[in-house]
Amino acid sequence: CDKDKDTTVQIDKDGPVHLSNSNEFTGLSSSSIPIPIRNTDRLYASQETLACSMEHGCVPCAYKIGCFDVALDKEFCRACPNQRPEQCPRASHMVSGKPDDSTTTNGGSVLGIRSGMSILTVGDGDFSFSLGLARRLIGQKGGKDERENTWIVATSYEKKATLRQVYPQTFDDTLSELEHLGVNIAYEVDATRIRETLPPLPKGHPTYFHRIAWNFPCTAIARGQDGQNKEIEDNKKLVQGFVESARRILSASGDGELYICHKTKPPYNQWNLEEEALCKQQGDIQGPSVQPNLCIQDNRTFPPQSTPPLLYYAGRIILDKLLVPPYTPRKALDKKSFPCHDACFYVFAQQAPQRRQSKKRTTSFDDQLSIFQPTIPRNKEASGDDMLTPLVKICREIILSIRRHHIRAATSATGRRTSKKRRR
C-alpha cells in the first residue's frame, strides 16, 4: 500500500491476498479535514467482501470494512448513507437464502472454517449460523466424503420447545435441513460448562473440536434485551468462562481456534475482548507439547482437563453474514435482528509450540481428522498463501481507497441526476 497514491486493490480469485501490516493513522478527506480511520491492527476481511465493495460498489460492504461513523466522517456518511444488508448485490443472487455458486470463491472454506474440521457452535439461538456453515462446508448435496469428514455440532442454551415458540416460522425447517446435512443438535448447553452439559455424541464422533464459535455472547436481562453498560463486568466474566470451558475441548494437535463474534462500537469496545477473554489462563502451567490420551467420562470422550492448550489473540475477521446465509444475528429470545456492520470475529488460536508437525495419531478418533493451518498466521511477515482461507489484511490505505471510490461514485451519480433534471 502506498499512502501517497490512490490504492488499487487487486482481488485474485485463485488465491488469497495478503497486504503488509500498518499502524492506525489519520487520513485526510477531500476538504483536508482529518478523518479517523478504524483500528486496523490484525484486521482481516474475506476477499468476497472486499471485492463486493470495490468491484460492485456495494455500500453495505464498504461500511463493514471501513466501519464509517457519521460522528467521525460526515463527508462519507452524507455522500454514501449506509444501506440494509439485503441491498448488497450478492443478496440478489441467493435463492431461498442459499448462496449461488457464481458468488462464492471457496465453497469448502469460509472465514477460516473449512470442510474436514470438527466444529462446535455455541449459543446459536435459531441455528441459522450453524445452517449457514453446514451449507457452505457440506453443501446441499451432502456428498458421502463430506459428511464423513466434516463434523458440526450446533448447540443452544435454550430448550427445544422454547426455540420453537420464539422462532415459529423458521425453526422446524432449519432443524430439518440441519438433520439432513448430518449436523448434530444439542439443547440446554451452557457455554461456560460445555463438557458438563453437552450430551453424548454419536459413536465415532470426535468430541474435541478444531473450531468453537460463539456469536454475540451476552448476559440476558428482562424482556429479551442484551446486557450493555451496566452488565459489562458480567459479560466479561461470561466470556472468560466460555474460553476456559471451550479451550479444554479444542483439538490437542495445536490447530484449535476459538471464534467470538461481537460488535466493535461503543459500548461493546469497552469489553476489551482481546485481553479479557484470556485473563483466566495466565496462571496455567502448560505441560509438554504432546498428544494426551483421551479419557472416558460419563460415557463421553474428552481430553484430560489438566493441561488445556494456551491461547493467544490472533486477530479479527470482519463479519459478512452473506458468506453464510441464511445467518441472521438476533437478540436473546427475540426473533428481531439487529444491525451489526461493525461486528468482527475475534480469533483466539493455540500457541505455536503446541502445534504438532507429525500427522501420526494415537487414537481412533484422531485418525478421522487432519491438522490444519492457522486462520491468521502469527508471523506478521507470513504470506497470504500460508492462510487457511482467502483473507485480505485490511490496512489504512484500503479503507481510504474504498472511501474515495464510493465518494467519487456518489458524486458522479448526483451529477448525472442533476444534468438529467436540467435537460428536462
The per-residue pLDDT string of the chain (424 residues; one tens digit each, 9 = 90 and over) reads 544 344 445 555 444 443 433 333 334 444 445 778 899 999 999 999 999 999 999 999 999 999 999 888 999 999 999 999 999 999 977 655 555 554 444 458 899 999 999 999 999 989 999 999 999 998 755 455 555 689 999 999 999 999 999 999 999 999 999 999 999 999 999 999 999 999 999 888 887 999 999 999 988 665 545 555 678 888 899 999 999 999 999 998 889 999 999 999 888 888 889 999 999 886 664 444 434 433 333 444 554 545 677 899 999 999 999 999 999 998 878 888 888 999 999 999 998 555 554 444 444 444 445 688 899 987 654 444 445 558 999 999 999 999 999 999 999 887 676 666 666 6
Tell me whether strands 118-122 and 211-215 are parallel, antiparallel or unpaired. parallel
Neighbours of 205 (CB within 10 A): 14
Q: How far apart are CA 87 and CA 89, in angstroms?
A: 6
Reading the block at residue 122, the C-alpha cell is 455455541
Radius of gyration of the chain (CA): 22
Q: How far apart are CA 55 and CA 11, in angstroms?
A: 9
Q: What is the pLDDT of residue 2?
A: 41
Amino acid at 189: V
Q: How far apart are CA 50 and CA 13, in angstroms?
A: 12
Indicate if the alpha-carbon torsion angle 64, 321, 53, 315 is positive or negative: positive
Residue-by-residue DSSP string for 224-242: GPBP-GGGHHHHHHHHHHH
Reading the block at residue 212, the C-alpha cell is 468453537
Strand order in the sheet with 43-46: 184-186, 151-155, 118-122, 211-215, 257-262, 344-350, 311-318, 43-46, 391-393
pTM, entire model? 0.83
Under 8 Å between Cβ of 305 and 281 = no
Q: How far apart are CA 166 and CA 331, in angstroms?
A: 11
Residue 246: phi, psi to the nearest 5?
-75, -35
Question: How many residues in the chain?
Answer: 424
Q: How far apart are CA 336 and CA 98, in angstroms?
A: 21
Q: What is the pLDDT of residue 123?
A: 95
Bridge partners for 34 per DSSP = 28
Tell me whether strands 43-46 and 311-318 are parallel, antiparallel or unpaired. parallel
All residues at 6 or more sequence positions from 264 whose CB lies less than 8 Å from its CB, including other chains = 67, 316, 342, 343, 344
Q: How far apart are CA 157 and CA 175, in angstroms?
A: 16
Helix (H) or strand (E) holding 161: helix 160-166
Q: What is the pLDDT of residue 65?
A: 97
Q: Which residue has the cell 479444554?
A: 248
Under 8 Å between Cβ of 394 and 65 = yes
Nearest to 131, CA basis, from 260, 332, 321: 321
Q: Which residue has the cell 445467518?
A: 327
- From residue 245, how far is each of 122, 248, 347 by CA, in Å? 11, 6, 16
Q: How far apart are CA 303 and CA 245, in angstroms?
A: 12
Residue-by-residue DSSP string for 191-208: TTSHHHHSPPPPTT--SS
